[in-house]
Amino acid sequence: AQSVSQHNHHVILSEAASLELGCNYSYGGTVNLFWYVQYPGQHLQLLLKYFSGDPLVKGIKGFEAEFIKSKFSFNLRKPSVQWSDTAEYFCAVNHRLYNQGGKLIFGQGTELSVKP
């Protein structure tokens, strides 16, 4: 069955700490990978995405993610978090086949709380 698993339900960090959020997927075929963020009171926004090429992708606000195909993982990282990074983070995957890309499969989300 197709699934996305996020290892941490709730992460609490102090400002300037480094962040790594784990994401593993189980999905047959070639996939596209995404990280979305939902700030308090706001809608889901795309942080970054990976389709092909360099497995290290950079997104907005200093976030980056690394695709490791052999581990079916797409972990999100940030060297130094800020209080404004407090949000819920979702990893998602879809199929790369044309006309099959509408179905994004999301993980259960990781709530990040950054203490000032």
Partner 1 sequence: DAGVTQSPTHLIKTRGQQVTLRCSPKSGHDTVSWYQQALGQGPQFIFQYYEEEERQRGNFPDRFSGHQFPNYSSELNVNALLLGDSALYLCASRFGTSGTDTQYFGPGTRLTVL
Q: Rule CB under 8 A: which residues touch partner 1? A: 4, 32, 36, 42-46, 49, 51, 90, 92, 94-109
**Least distance in angstroms from the C-beta of 80 to partner 1:** 26
d(CA 11, CA 88): 10
Q: Which residues contact 67 (CB under 8 A, 6 or more apart)?
A: 33, 50, 55, 56, 57, 73, 74
**Cβ proximity to partner 1, 14 vs 108, nearer residue:** 108
**Cβ proximity to partner 1, 42 vs 70, nearer residue:** 42
**Least distance in angstroms from the C-beta of 112 to partner 1:** 15
**Least distance in angstroms from the C-beta of 92 to partner 1:** 8
- The one-character DSSP state at 80 is S
- The one-character DSSP state at 60 is G
Number of Cβ atoms within 10 Å of the Cβ of 96: 13
**Cβ proximity to partner 1, 41 vs 116, nearer residue:** 41
d(CA 51, CA 81): 26
**Cβ proximity to partner 1, 71 vs 96, nearer residue:** 96
**Least distance in angstroms from the C-beta of 100 to partner 1:** 6
